[in-house]
Amino acid sequence: MIIKTIAIIPARGGSKRLPFKNTLPLGGLPLLAHSIKYALSQSQIDSVYVSTDDENIKQIALDYGALVIDRPQSLSGDLEPTISTLQHVLAELDDATIEAVVLLQPTNPLRPVTLFKEVFTQFKTKNSVSAFTVSRNHDKLGKIVNNTFVPFNYTPGQRSQDLEPLYYENGLLYITTANAIRDGSIMTEDALPFVVEHPFSKVDIDTQEDLEYAEYVFNNITS
């Protein structure tokens, strides 16, 4: 039996802060197209699917070589979690040979060329159930309690380079077994973190300012 790895790109039509963001241009291409092209360039990915409720997005997906799964309106609301979209795609495909799912978010359009191969190799070598990308946070963070700032990850006067390493989920890439997704998880408790220190990890598009920053990064920083 041939075991498959597929990529799923969730791209609904509704967006409050940046209307039509998945179709907006970045570097001369629709935002969505960057994730499609990235997935299609990876030899370990057998098929690329875009899940959408929007006809314009559907046409862009088809134009750039992806397959499309029509997403029902019941799974297209602002509060609908990504896991339900992935589960819907797997249910529609109904293919027992799918072993792993690669989640690519169109709002994280820029990825280092070798990133997927590096993460996928560790995912397979370590027999992981899920893996995801993270980046180190270098900020001095704290909480405001009773109108007083309370440091969280440092003591006053401590040098930034001496901070305890903390990491954030950067959204560039997720890999999960199909069975874990069917069971309701994208990131399992034992998910393998893969550290990415690259300017692309700071690109996450939700506002016009984010898009302008992404355009700057696209034009000035290579992968």
pLDDT digits (tens, 9 = 90+) for 161-207: 888 899 999 999 999 999 999 999 999 999 999 999 999 999 999 99
Whether 112 maps to a domain, the answer reads: yes
Q: Are strands 130-137 and 192-195 parallel, antiparallel or unpaired?
A: parallel
Q: What is the CATH number for 185?
A: 3.90.550.10
The total of structural domains in the chain comes to 1
Domain assignment present for 214: no
Q: Would you state the structure tokens that stand for residue 71, as one six-digit string?
A: 């997403």
**Residue 188: inside a domain:** yes
Summarize pLDDT for 205-217 with one digit per residue, the tens.
999 999 999 999 9
Predicted TM-score (pTM) of the model is: 0.94
In a domain, 67, yes or no: yes
Encoding tokens for residue 187?
């990131």
Residue that the structure tokens 């241009």 belong to = 25
